Amino acid sequence: MFRVSKKYLKINTILMEDFEEKEPLEAENETLIVTEDIRSYIYETAKWAKFLSIIGFIFCVLIIIFAFFMPAVISSMTTMGGQTPLSQVAPAAITVTYLLIALIYFYPSLMLFKYATAAQKAVLFLDQLSLGVAMSKMKSFFKFWGVLTIVVLSFYIVGILFAVVASIGVS
């Protein structure tokens, strides 16, 4: 039979308490003080974000217009001056490519606009919920650009590796 002393149990209980997860502090105890300076920075940032988002929307519209007129421009260039590298590509592929570019550019513009609107509302009306929404949209904006940057860099790396392998194969 195995006997455990009370002293051992007491020490073991004290040690085990250190490994147990403790409850996090309640949200009411955590505060973040937003001073007047910070409010003015957020408001000014929101104004610039709204300006940049509107410019982004305008560029999206211009890209969409360009997408539908580019096949006509390419065909007129072909009739005037002969074959161009773009005339070898199907006009539908060019249109789809530019529409895809416009769609990719639209999403961050939308997130920036939503950030600006929510941030302005948060600052003007001291609305904590709007500030949370604004920060969420800003997070989505930066996350999108970060992922897109990683994807583009990956394409560059694959392209460089392909070019190196192709140049070795030609030699």
pLDDT computed for residue 61 by the predictor: 97
Instruction: For the beta carbon of residue 89, count every other beta carbon within 10 angstroms.
Output: 13
Residue 107 makes CB contacts below 8 A (sequence gap 6+) with 144
Spans of the chain below 70 pLDDT: 1-29, 81-88
pLDDT score at 73: 79
- The C-alpha atoms of residue 65 and residue 33 are separated, in whole angstroms, by 47
- pLDDT (0 to 100) of residue 29: 60
What are the angstrom distances between the C-alpha of 84 and each of 66, 79, 136? 18, 10, 46
Buried b (16+ CB within 10 A) or exposed e, 13-52: eeeeeeeeeeeeeeeeeeeeeeeeeebeebeebbeebbee
pLDDT at residue number 70: 84
Determine the pLDDT at residue 79.
72
Per-residue model confidence (pLDDT) at position 157: 97
Q: How far apart are CA 117 and CA 133, in angstroms?
A: 10
Please state, in angstroms and rounded to a whole number, the distance separating the CA atoms of residues 57 and 50.
Answer: 10
Question: What does the pLDDT look like over 119-154, one tens digit per residue?
Answer: 999 999 999 999 999 999 999 999 999 999 999 999
Instruction: Please give the pLDDT value at position 74.
Output: 75
Q: How far apart, in Å, do the first and last CA atoms of the chain sit? A: 81
| CA 126 – CA 119 distance, rounded (Å) | 10
| Domains in the chain: boundaries | 35-163
